Amino acid sequence: MTYMYGAPARPNVLSPHSRGTVLEDVWPPIFWGGECLEEIKRKINELNWAAECYRLLLREARPVLEDEPSLPIERIGWRHSFYSPVSGEHLIFDPWRGRDFVDPSNQQTWNDEEYRRAWALLVHERTYRLMRSMALLYRLEGDRRFGDWAVAGLQKAIEMFAHSELREGNNSEALYFQPLYDAQVLALIANTCSLLQGTPIYTDALHESVVKGVFEEAMPYQIRFLEKRGAHNMTCYVDAGLLFGGRIARRDDWVDTALYHPTGGFLAMMKNGLARSETGEIDGFWREGTQFYHFYSVCPLLSVYAFWKMSEELSMPEEPADLEYRLIRMLMAPAEMCDEHLRLPVFGDLGAPRRTKLTLYRHVYEMGAGVLDDRQLHSVLAAINAGQPTRSSLAALAFGPDSIDAEPKAPESVLLPATGVAFVREGTFHAYLKAGPSLGGHDHCDKLSFGLSAHGQPIIADLGTAGYSVQEYRAYCRGAFGHSTVLINDRPTQKVTEAKLDAHLGRRQVEATISEGDGVVLKRRIVLQAPLLHVEDVYTADTPHLFTCLVHPYGPATVLCPGEPVDITTHELPRTGVFGFLAHARKGVSNTPICLEWQSGEELWLRGWFGADAPFEYILGQTPGHPQYDFRNTLLIRIQGVNVKLRMVFEVHTGTATLLIPPSRVVF
């Protein structure tokens, strides 16, 4: 296969917001190998959807055979470097442009070494996933070309692991930049070997070379890292690498470490890795406080549990029911946050509000529904597959149920006490309020923030973040200024000392209180009465403070009612740091309620009335969304005092609002 200008045929790296071919599988990956072979064969022989999926895999595999496995022997970089510093978009690789990497939003190219190294990581990981798929096809089809391709990849992997100089300067002596990336690679290599075992092309010599050249070379570094880390997404992957690699290398000590290490093993992850409320409750959300790393951790944890459950040699713990309950909750917690289009709120790091959906994790729910066999998970899987022509995924072949015998359920109001968030819902209207204690290092300054979606569109939403190398933008996305919450004295971060969240779901009402020290207490109550959302705030302090309420809707904004001007003075808003992301700001002051309207979509508007019990300054300006060009038009309401009350009433409408000017149905 050749391309224009003679450029080599290399893979186009996928964005984490999209899926590629079935053959190359998805990232973040789940791990499985030869233990699933008989189940896959059975499904292909008995089920039409599985046979169709198999035919698709064969069609996708034949072009792959025209190139060698792409494992360039070079220094590996950080995944987060593969983002545009201008837009925050995940870059793509265009083989026509050689070493240039393309921002898909504007076709601008980037070719510094950091991008090349990040690309090398993504290419290696994709190739290892392809190797596992090709090994599977060899076992199913009997065509040696597929097996030879996988073996060629193993031989290149052995060569890669022999280059110790590529470890220099990396985190914890990793070859692939950090132990997390090593662990994913090791698990995939082990999966490939387990599929090839017992075939003529997987010789004793090859097995010995892989064990000595890859696993024995890498595992000491992995174990040292595990022993230093507690419950963390990286440790979950190290457990998977140790388990699957230990089984291939016949190293029971690695397997025991993966399962039983008191602080870093799988059982410790399941015991200590889930967030807890102040009363000790778990709701299933991962302790690092982010939607992305929640799923990132689920993938290896569910993989380890599935292998453990299927193994005839490894005995399960005495109380597997508790493990299954926790895993079910880990899958149900994000499902309970979705809207009717399965769009996920992107709390914490990574993810993008218009792109992050439960369907990106179809492979996780196929695996979960098959391994855990829970009725709720069948219902979620039914929603994910609704409207799909067929169930085409390797996870469905390896783990998924033969049929999905449940109906999708409409989203319901829910309180997740350990996550610190409550959702209230009415028809296609969904609102949330977030409080609770800060979780892990990937959590954001988003306490007291609220969000709103309606008619299938995000109206007010958290941003997540792009890759971490886009540092200034990441700081904006993580800080309080980037969320629809409240700033104290223009401090861009939060210092929450106490937080409380109460939900009255039947009344579609949620109340939250946070304390920030120095006598500052912030209270917020939201009430959903579709098409209206009422937001009522009370801010108190021992001495006068400047309170700034932030609202970040999508769409161009118009001031419909500017209020009655009043003579007040407030401190100038800072212009440096995260405040520098506010552009085209215009100001006003008022002693009476003001009204603004945002056009949220082609035929969708958000009207908002804002009033306080004291004169206030308001600022309207543009702030970046995620990606950055997906702008929001942000409103800041700034009030000085020791006891301040603010009320906001929002209406989502399709052209005819009921909140009129002067205001009706609004009492301030």
Which of 366, 398, 430 is the last residue in one of the domains? Answer: 398
- Residue 351 sits in the same domain as residue 427: no
**Residue 514 falls inside a structural domain:** yes
Which of 347, 368, 398 is the last residue in one of the domains? Answer: 398
- Residue 389 sits in the same domain as residue 441: no
- Residue 485 sits in the same domain as residue 592: yes
Strands 632-653 and 109-110: unpaired
Would you state the pLDDT for residue 12?
A: 64
Would you state the pLDDT for residue 312?
A: 78
Would you state the pLDDT for residue 19?
A: 77
Would you state the pLDDT for residue 318?
A: 62
Contact 123, 13 (CB under 8 A): yes
Low-confidence ranges of the chain (pLDDT < 50): 1-10
Would you state the pLDDT for residue 664?
A: 59
Count of domains in the chain?
2
- Residue 617 sits in the same domain as residue 543: yes
- Residue 332 sits in the same domain as residue 465: no
- Residue 87 sits in the same domain as residue 234: yes
User: In the structure encoding, which two tokens stand for residue 377, read together?
Assistant: 């998970």
- Residue 426 sits in the same domain as residue 300: no
Helices 320-335/362-372 angle, 10° precision: 150
**Residue 668 falls inside a structural domain:** no
**Residue 487 falls inside a structural domain:** yes
**Residue 202 falls inside a structural domain:** yes
- Residue 366 sits in the same domain as residue 450: no
Which of 398, 424, 443 is the last residue in one of the domains? Answer: 398
Q: How far apart are CA 664 and CA 222, in angstroms?
A: 64
The DSSP element (H or E) to which 41 belongs, if any, is helix 37-46
Q: How far apart are CA 98 and CA 10, in angstroms?
A: 10
- Residue 213 sits in the same domain as residue 335: yes
**Residue 298 falls inside a structural domain:** yes
Would you state the pLDDT for residue 271?
A: 94
Query: Quick one: which of 12, 18, 2 has its CA closest to 100?
Result: 12
**Residue 658 falls inside a structural domain:** no
- Residue 491 sits in the same domain as residue 350: no
**Residue 52 falls inside a structural domain:** yes
3-class DSSP state of 330: helix
Q: What is the DSSP string of 495-545?
A: --SEEEEEEEGGGTEEEEEEE-STT-EEEEEEEEETTEEEEEEEEEEEEEE
- Residue 341 sits in the same domain as residue 447: no
Task: Report the alpha-carbon angle 227-231-232, nearest 5.
Answer: 95
The CATH number of whichever domain residue 585 belongs to comes to 2.70.98.70
- Residue 137 sits in the same domain as residue 264: yes
The CATH number of whichever domain residue 170 belongs to comes to 1.50.10.100
From residue 200, alpha-carbon distances to 32, 58, 136, 519, 540 in Å are: 21, 21, 15, 74, 75
**Residue 407 falls inside a structural domain:** no
The residue range of the domain holding 434 is: 414-653
